[in-house]
């Protein structure tokens, strides 16, 4: 009689710990500040892949968005990532406001929030 109880307990524990591997969001968070560290609102942030001569299946096209009051532009690349994929992307960053511009790069690792801070002068 104890065997079915132990079997049931074992199965319950096994099912609890073997739940599906949930895919986490793949996010790029770009923060734009001035030289004093003050967040810059309404900065146009553009992310784009490095152009190559051989056009392979480019997963990510150019995306752009304005920063919010916290100086942040958030890009969600979750739809482009497939579990098991090795690596993800390295993107160029271009941020402009009025006549000021700053450039950088960001390596996008899958299933995490990838942050980059740029100083707009």
Q: Give the structural domain span for 92.
A: 23-119
pLDDT reported for residue 9: 62
Q: Is there a domain that residue 2 lies in? A: no
Residue 13: φ, ψ to 5°: -65, -45
Q: Is the pLDDT of residue 44 over 80?
A: yes
Q: Locate tokens 């049931």: which residue?
A: 8
Q: Is there a domain that residue 90 lies in? A: yes
Question: Which residue, among 91, 97, 18, 99, has the nearest Cα to 59 in the 3D structure?
Answer: 91
Higher pLDDT, 12 or 105: 105
With pLDDT > 90 as the criterion, what percentage of the chain qualifies? 59
Confidence of residue 68 (pLDDT cuts 50, 70, 90): very high
Q: Is there a domain that residue 74 lies in? A: yes
Higher pLDDT, 52 or 31: 31
Q: Is there a domain that residue 29 lies in? A: yes
Q: Is there a domain that residue 100 lies in? A: yes
- Tokens representing residue 99 in the block: 């006549």
Q: Is there a domain that residue 106 lies in? A: yes
Confidence of residue 57 (pLDDT cuts 50, 70, 90): very low
Q: Is there a domain that residue 4 lies in? A: no
Q: Is there a domain that residue 30 lies in? A: yes
Give the CATH number for residue 107. Answer: 2.60.40.10
The span from the CA of 59 to the CA of 29, in Å, is 19
Answer yes or no: are the C-beta atoms of 103 and 30 closer than 8 Å.
no
Question: Which residue, among 107, 95, 101, has the nearest Cα to 64 in the 3D structure?
Answer: 95
Counted domains in the chain? 1
């Amino acid at each position: 009689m104890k065997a079915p109880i132990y079997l049931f307990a074992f199965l319950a524990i096994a099912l609890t710990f073997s739940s599906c591997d949930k895919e986490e969001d793949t996010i790029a968070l770009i923060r734009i500040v001035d030289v004093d560290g003050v967040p810059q609102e309404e900065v146009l942030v553009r992310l784009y892949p490095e152009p190559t001569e051989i056009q392979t299946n480019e997963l990510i096209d150019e995306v752009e968005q304005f920063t919010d009051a916290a100086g942040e532009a958030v890009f969600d690349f979750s739809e482009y990532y497939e579990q098991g994929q090795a690596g993800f992307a390295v993107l160029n960053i271009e941020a402009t406001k009025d006549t000021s511009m700053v450039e950088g790069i960001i390596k996008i690792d899958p299933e995490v929030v990838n942050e980059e801070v740029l100083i707009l002068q």
